[in-house]
Structure 1
Amino acid sequence: MVYLVGAGPGDIELFTLKAINILKKADVILYDALVNPEFTQFCKKDTIKIDVGKRKGKHLKNQEEINELLIKYAKMNKEVVRLKGGTPFVFGRGYEEVKALKQIGITPKIISGVSSTTSVPESFMIPSIDRSFSDSYRTITGHDLNIFNEIITSYHERENLIIMMGAHKAKQIVQSLLKKQFPKNTPIAYLSKGTTKDEKCIISTLEEINNKDDKFFEELKNLTPIITYVGNTINALK
């Protein structure tokens, strides 16, 4: 059996009980860069643990190689866990791995995790929905500006944006939002390493961030992983 397991946003205590129980019996675990390394406390002594982490500019294994490893160990009748940050199908390429396994006749089991898209803002006391400020939120990748600009076409006062993987395009994203008539005083927060001991929160406005120098944006890249949160519910903190 192959399991795609969500490891949550970073805090080891946000692993689900179901995830822990599966880790206890795993023969092989392929884990992501953002997974808390303390997961090994739940494993058998002889569990094979393979780091297949992918970070900006550094891929230990590309997606095709990861698929091949899953198939290799599945064919050996091992209990295989693909341990992914957050939850498998939210920006985790989980379904690409499902399709690769299904092509050889294996249907994996999906074990959802706590998604960082909502849990990280909550860890900083920022609600995704608050009736005083918003009725909806949208989660979007920020690493491809063409896709970002195609999807985010206009400003909605009562909608929040949760932008994943946007740290390396932070300045361009802010400039894009301003061009799309987002008010200059729209709150923006950079939420770094949420739920972990190294977490950090930077709260500002679109105008203030747009006026920052290059040094600020270089330092921001060093704080990854970052969730960029744009919206009026940040004011719920006040």
Structure 2
Amino acid sequence: MSKKVYLVGAGPGDIELLTLKGMKLLNRADVVLYDALVNPEIFQFCKDDVIKVNVGKRKDHHLKKQEEINELIVEYAQKHETVVRLKGGTPFVFGRGYEEVRFIVKAGFEPVVVSGVSSTTSVLESFMIPSIDREFSDAYRTITGHDMKSFSEIVTQYHSRENLVIMMGIHNLKQIVFTLLEKGYPSTLPIAILSKGTCKDAQQVVSTLGEIEQKDSLFFEQMKQLTPAIIFVGQTLNATQELIAK
């Protein structure tokens, strides 16, 4: 039987949102290769002598290329009994988990994926924003905002009962707002920048597309400092505002 290599979702930030299965694996891990967005408090669940390897990738600052990460996983698996690849959120959602799975299989090991709590829903909920609300919406679309060409090709037109959950788009906030307005999204449509959701230093900025469009360059530079952040666009934000009003 092949040795197992574990891809574990660390969740959105709050360590109490780590799954029980993930915690048990960290308890016995000999090596943990972890992402930049993983809360360092999570290592309290590890053995004292665990080998911790930071392979984080942030915008314009990659400690390791993906190919190097793949090779490191296999290298440690060849030498140690329990190797955990700890990924922010859940392994296959806006990560490169499947590339790692392919490499692990090719090297003769068995990959085991342990799902985590995805930030695509949990961050919204931490700010009391429903991704679906019977009064305001029937659907939500989750999309990356780091590639504006792809974003523009995928988001083609406005639907009043669909929300957008835009990941990794804070550095392109100005272009995203411009693109949405150009495609017919109303200027009065609510938008929220949700920073560090589920964590102690979480904060949000709520506005409209039209108001954001009028902001100066200083505002957009300030928004970049809120990373990691999710951009939420849609009428469902009105549900949150009604709750606040009450």
* Same fold by TM-score greater than 0.5: yes
1:168 aligns with 2:159: no
Aligned residue pairs, count = 238
Q: Are positions 1:8 and 2:18 aligned together?
A: no
Tell me, yes or no, if structure 1 residue 124 matches structure 2 residue 127: yes
Determine the C-alpha separation between the residues in 2 that align with 1:18 and 1:68: 25
Structure 1 residue 106: deviation in Å?
1.6
**Partner in structure 1 of residue 55 of structure 2:** 52
Aligned to 2:67: 64
Distance 1:232 1:107 in 2: 44
- Asked if 1 retains the 8 angstrom alpha-carbon contact of 2:30 and 2:80, the reply is no
1:57-105 Cα deviation digits (max 9, x unpaired) = 1111110110010010112242100000000000111001001111112
Q: Write the distance in 1 (CA, Å) between the matches of 2:187 and 2:219.
A: 19
Q: What TM-score results when the alignment is normalised by the length of structure 2? A: 0.96
Q: Which runs of 4+ in 1 moved over 2 A?
A: none
Does structure 1 residue 213 correspond to structure 2 residue 216? Answer: yes
5 Å-filtered alignment, 1:151-230, equals 151-230=154-233
In structure 2, C-alpha distance between the alignment counterparts of 1:47 and 1:54, rounded to whole Å: 21
| 1:23 and 2:26 are equivalent in the alignment | yes
Task: Please list the CA deviations of residues 23-63 of structure 1 after superposition, one character each: whole Å capped at 9, or x if unmatched.
Answer: 00000000011101011111111110001111111111110
What amino acid maps onto 2:234 in structure 1?
G
2:110 alignment partner AA: T
Aligned residue type for 2:123: V
Other-structure match for 2:42? 39
Task: Give the aligned residue type for 1:164.
Answer: M
SS of 1:92's partner is coil
CA distance in 1, matches of 2:178, 2:133: 26
Q: Equivalents in 1 of 2:171, 2:41: separation in Å? A: 28
TM-score of the aligned structures, taking structure 1 as reference length: 0.99
**Aligned alpha-carbon RMSD (Å):** 0.7
Alpha-carbon offset, residue 107 of structure 1: 2.2
What is the aligned counterpart of 1:114 among 96, 114, 117? Answer: 117
Percent of pairs identical after alignment? 66
In 1, Cα distance between equivalents of 2:80 and 2:74:
10
1 CA distance for matches of 2:69 and 2:221? 31
Tell me how far apart the structure 1 counterparts of residues 12 and 126 of structure 2 sit (CA, whole Å): 10
Q: Is the 8 A contact 2:5 2:77 kept in 1?
A: yes
Q: What is the CA–CA distance in structure 2 between the aligned matches of 1:72 and 1:86, rounded to whole Å?
A: 24
* 2:226 partner letter: L
* Letter in structure 2 aligned against 1:31: Y
Shift of 1:168: 0.6
CA offsets 1:149-192 (integer angstroms, 9 cap, x no match) = 01000001100000000011000000000000001101000000
Q: Distance in 1 between matches of 2:97 and 2:107?
A: 16
DSSP 3-state at the match of 2:110: coil
SS in 2 for 1:232: coil
Alignment partners' CA distance in 1, 2:74 and 2:30: 14
Q: Which amino acid aligns with 1:124?
A: F
Question: 5+ unaligned residues in a row in structure 2: which ranges?
Answer: none
Gaps of at least 5 residues in structure 1 are: none
Q: Distance in 1 between matches of 2:105 and 2:59?
A: 29
